[in-house]
Amino acid sequence: DIQMTQSPSTLSASVGDRVAITCRASQSINNWLAWYQQKPGKAPKLLMYKASTLESGVPSRFSGSGSGTEFTLTISSLQPDDFATYYCQQYSSYWTFGQGTKVEIK
Amino acid sequence: QITLKESGPTLVKPTQTLTLACSFSGFSLSTDGVGVGWIRQPPGKAPEWLAVIYWGDEKRYSPSLKSRLTITKDTSKNQVVLTMTNMDPVDTATYYCAHRRGNWGGFFDHWGQGTLVTVSS
């Protein structure tokens, strides 16, 4: 099984901040990685796939990078709507989610 | 416009079998490359993938739950059904179905609203 580890688990930030979330895979997944945003009581929303491809309709302040085992989701200027929990997910071998990173208001 | 909606019981007893249906619109499960997956999320925890069924009726199951899961499709009804046997309180979660897209394993680009299933006697 491929394990996905996110850091940090919680991130406190202010509107306008640049934030980065890291996701590490237990083995190489090439760039078969997706990022999701989830708000309380809602289903996850796809933000990014193939590590760095922005899903249609997602604001350009979101960007993704990495390949192999280490990946990063960056929000260039945090907006009020961005306070949520973020999950990475590998789809190289079956599907595995990270444990999540909660972005909260500082 | 792709939409999915889960339906099924909200409460099941331990040892019972859970049957959930996913009704969808906006795509066909007979189209090459299309898949539908089931993912669950225990309260306060991360999502966990359960199963996927593809357009050609190929199926994939989570290795840790494979013995308890069955996924089937009814293309004419635009529906996918998941059964999970021998339910336990640790299976209490919100169960989602989702449309799978993309190369290799693919990712989930459209999700249903989810249905909370509680396992309790």
Neighbours of B35 (CB within 10 A): 23
Can you tell me the mean pLDDT for A19-25? 98
Minimum-distance CB partner of B105 among A32, A97, A100: A32
pLDDT (0 to 100) of residue A95: 97
Tell me the nearest-neighbour CA distance from B63 into chain A, angstroms: 9
Q: Which residue of A has its CA nearest to B37?
A: A95
- Cα Rg, chain A, nearest whole Å: 13
Set of chain A residues whose Cβ sits within 8 Å of the Cβ of B45: 99
Residue A102 pLDDT: 98
pLDDT grade for B10, boundaries at 50, 70 and 90: very high
pLDDT tens digits along B88-110: 999 999 999 999 998 777 899 99
pLDDT surpassing 80 at residue A89: yes
**pLDDT exceeds 90 at position B40:** yes
Q: DSSP letters of chain B?
A: --EEEEES-SEE-TTPPEEEEEEEESS-TTSTT-EEEEEEE-TTS--EEEEEEETTS-EEE-TTTGGGEEEEEEGGGTEEEEEE-S--GGG-EEEEEEEEESSTT-EEEEE---EEEEE--
Strands B11-12 and A33-38: unpaired
Tokens found for residue A15: 């509107």
Residue B36 CA to residue B4 CA, distance in Å, equals: 10
Residue A44 has pLDDT above 90, yes or no: yes
Cβ pair A92:B105 closer than 8 A: yes
Select the residue of B45, B105, B114 nearest A94 (Cβ to Cβ): B105
DSSP code per residue over chain A? ---EEEE-SEEEE-TT--EEEEEEESS--TT-EEEEEE-TTS--EEEEETTTEEPTT--TTEEEEEETTEEEEEESS--GGG-SEEEEEE-SSS-EE---EEEEE-
Question: How far does A10 lie from chain B, in Å, by closest CA?
Answer: 13
Residue B1 C-alpha, separation from nearest chain A C-alpha, in angstroms: 13
Residue numbers in A near B64 (CB within 8 A): 1
Q: How many CB pairs under 8 A join A and B?
A: 60
The contacts found for A1-4 with CB under 8 angstroms, 24 or more apart, are A1/A26, A1/A94, A1/A96, A1/B63, A1/B64, A2/A26, A2/A27, A2/A29, A2/A90, A2/A92, A2/A93, A2/A94, A2/A96, A3/A96, A4/A88, A4/A89, A4/A90, A4/A96, A4/A97, A4/A98, A4/A99
Shortest alpha-carbon distance between residue B62 and chain A (Å): 8
Q: Which residue of A has its CA nearest to B112?
A: A43
**CB proximity B114 to A under 8 Å:** yes
Distance of CA A85 to the CA centre of its chain: 9
Q: Residues B44-90: pLDDT tens digits?
A: 999 999 999 999 999 999 999 999 999 999 999 999 999 999 999 99
